Chain A
């Protein structure tokens, strides 16, 4: 026995040692996408629908990587069911990742030898993922009519150098959720139309009156505003405050250079510093918002308002069914703004079934696909024509989010290094909220952002 066993074990050891390195030569280098023909949209869509019939009838099994929450699993399962009615040979399994693990697992998923065929990517990160070669171009699955029907800001975020890399599917915007009972008790009625939106000072003044009224009635320690995490550390929540301090075409409003590689001159303008001082005053001087997360503050009557995304209402109905909540448009300083964005479906460039995945993507972003999703979960569709068919968005409170999107909606600052920008900017805003020296914090952040974004020049 021994000799053969030893030989076998030695062989196993050698094989293990000789196993392919984690880092291999890439199958193909990332190339700059074609830019000569911006958004090369085909006259007629030639999607995978035209694949050979026999090929279509082969059993196809795909994986779809999505973060949990926001009603996404229900929504996408609803679309998959509708797709399988037309293509019974196609099976799509959702890889549902806990939201907290999603951002860490996504790059590892892309780097694996067997990436998911489809995935959801935060719309602001699409350009970054496309730049790194993770995403398949989707220009060829949408017609000119389709492209004209998609909301322009969503298409812009989903494109890099004129090439579309994600299916314009849904949009989310932000609003102020308020405790109706508290505001009624104080005799204050927040605006319900975007044209009547409060400025930041009006919003703070009114909310402070609510807090004072609550304190007078024995409900002490009520915060003026909370976010999902406090202070918020992502630009979805923080940057809209800063951008609002600038004029519409100003560097402050843009937040980054047109080529997406420079923040100096955009994050350190006099208007931006004014915004940072305002932001710090909310946390330090006024003690209007908590400097560390207070779990469930809004749901437990410990916060008068909460700034959150459109789908938060559906979440509140489940987690706090007795809470009497309302929505008012986002406050503004100089320019009203809401930042559009959502988890957006993409096709993996390195997946084994790119064409099949694109065929599903085409269905997903179609009128039928969007309606199937909305049958399960409310989502503001990126398709303008479908929005008109959904009654839920023509009524309060959802109408506020739609009106904001139409009147004020812009994408977050567009850069292929958005994850880097977001991470550093988010930390800077947390530091400012926690009382850091504003000048030093901004200088350090701008320096670090620009040093990191230099890799995309």
Chain B
């Protein structure tokens, strides 16, 4: 008992000391914590709760469903199709985007005349609204009067259908989103490259390493942390894709671009199945969580 009392007292005094030491910091972060709780944490908790109900948004009638929405998802072919479409979008987009981002980072790492201008040009799409970008690229992809087909015609090349062709719609979306997001990934790779000490390269060069060996044995291993971070954030971003799909294809043609978040939107606001939409959201969050944990695990092992 004496020991327990001593421990309690010790913990209490430690806590009080910590509170005293960090009270200014706590006061400063409190508004952000409140915002995070109200606008992020609470909706997440609510989504999980609603996923166990059959909830009608308009009437607000909600009936307990248990795991009904989850078992329905497991048997819903449309759900699996949207998962497949989203995975395809991720597989087509993220590897290409990461390689391009790394190459661009390598290009603008070395100071030369005009590097600031090139960095700005690469970053402009990143800071432009996705809505604006989607509308403009939608016009550029127009099969009859779009800029891209205009260029193809000028070059005497066959015109393409882009967004209205089942084989071209997804790649067309991927190209546009890579153009939009590659600058954002480049920033992280650039920061990673600049954090590698120059002495490593100097030592390797003294040992006779060529450029490829420098890149292969110094740059890539030391960028592993950055690469995992970029991969995780890009994967989350790819699985959450919605705006360009909603504005440019509405999931068509023939549902080839119907991605998971669009399906969540349809269930929530068109099919009026808020509980099912919440269940799919939770499944999506779990998929991303598991994938992120796996990536972090392999990174820490290596």
Give me the interface of A with B, judged by CB distance under 8 Å: 2, 5-6, 9, 12-13, 16-17, 19, 21-27, 29-30, 104, 107, 110-111, 129, 132-134, 221, 233, 290-292, 294, 419-420, 423, 427, 430-431, 434-437, 440-441, 444, 448, 452, 455
Contact = CB atoms under 8 A, between A and B. Distances in A.
B43 interface: yes
B60 A111 contact: yes
B250 A23 contact: no
B270 A427 contact: no
Given A16-B38, A436-B166, 9 more contacts: A16-B42, A17-B42, A24-B60, A25-B62, A30-B59, A107-B272, A111-B58, A291-B161, A294-B144
13 contacts: A21-B49, A23-B49, A23-B55, A132-B58, A132-B59, A291-B144, A294-B144, A423-B266, A431-B254, A435-B164, A435-B253, A436-B166, A448-B78
A441 B252 CA distance: 11
Nearest to A12: B34
Given A17-B42, A111-B57, A291 B30 contact: no
A108 B24 CA distance: 40
Nearest to B258: A427
Interface of B: 23, 27, 30, 33-34, 37-38, 42-43, 46, 49-50, 53, 55-62, 78, 142-145, 161, 163-166, 250-255, 266, 269-274
A29 B61 CA distance: 6
A9 B250 contact: no
A294 B58 contact: no
B272 A132 contact: yes
Contacts of A25: 60, 62
Given A2-B23, A291-B143, A291-B164, A436 B60 contact: no
A452 B272 CA distance: 10
Contacts of A233: 250
B38 A19 contact: yes
A292 B253 contact: no
Contacts of A448: 78
Nearest to A283: B164
B253 A13 contact: no
A138 to B, nearest CB: 18
Contact of A132 (B56, B62, B255): B56
Given A132-B56, A132-B272, A30 B46 contact: no
A220 to B, nearest CB: 12
Given A5-B27, A12-B34, A107-B269, A133 B253 contact: no
A430 B161 CA distance: 14
Contacts of B30: 9, 13
A434 B164 contact: yes
Contact of B37 (A17, A221, A294, A435): A17
A265 to B, nearest CB: 22
Nearest to B30: A9
Contacts of B253: 430-431, 434-436
Contacts of B57: 107, 110-111
Contacts of B144: 221, 290-292, 294
Contacts of B274: 23
Given A291-B164, A294-B145, A436 B58 contact: no
Contacts of B161: 291, 434
Contacts of B165: 434-435
A445 to B, nearest CB: 10
Contacts of A437: 254
A110 B58 contact: yes
Given A13-B37, A26-B61, A292 B163 contact: yes
Contacts of B27: 5-6, 9
Contact of B61 (A30, A419, A440): A30
Nearest to A231: B164
Contacts of A427: 250-252, 255
A430 B252 contact: yes
B262 to A, nearest CB: 11
Contacts of B55: 23
B94 to A, nearest CB: 28
Q: Which 6 A-B pairs have the closest CB atoms?
A: A132-B58, A133-B59, A26-B60, A434-B164, A30-B59, A110-B58
A23 B50 contact: yes
